[in-house]
Chain A
Amino acid sequence: MTLDLVLFWIPGAVAIGATVAVITRKNASRALIYLVVSLLAVAVIFFMLGAPFAAALEVVVYAGAIVVLFLFVVMMLNLGRSSVMRESRWLQPGMWIGPFILVAILAVVFAYAFASVDGVDTKGEMVGPRAVGEALFGEGPYLLAVELAGFLLLAALVGAYHLGRRYLEERRELS
Chain B
Amino acid sequence: MAIEVPVFHVLILAGILFLLGLAGVLVRRNIMFLLMSLEVMMNAAGLAFIAAGAVWGQPDGQIMFMFILALAAAEVAVALGIVLQISRRFDTLDIDAASDFNG
Contacts and interface: CB of A to CB of B under 8 A. Distances in A.
Given A125-B57, A160-B78, A119 B6 contact: yes
B17 A16 contact: yes
Contacts of A164: 81, 84
Interface string A11-28: 010011001101100001
Q: Which 9 pairs between the two chains have the least Cβ-Cβ distance? A: A163-B81, A50-B2, A23-B24, A156-B74, A99-B26, A160-B77, A124-B4, A4-B3, A122-B54
B50 A51 contact: yes
Interface size class of A (residues with CB under 8 A): 35 or more
B52 to A, nearest CB: 9
B80 A160 contact: yes
A7 B27 CA distance: 32
B17 A15 contact: yes
Contacts of A103: 19, 22-23, 26
A58 B72 CA distance: 11
Dominant SS among interface residues on chain B = helix
B4 A122 contact: yes
A115 B7 CA distance: 10
A49 B81 contact: no
A120 B5 contact: no
B2 A126 contact: yes
B97 interface: no
Interface in A93-143: 95-96, 98-100, 102-103, 106-107, 110-111, 114-115, 117-127, 131-132, 134-136, 142
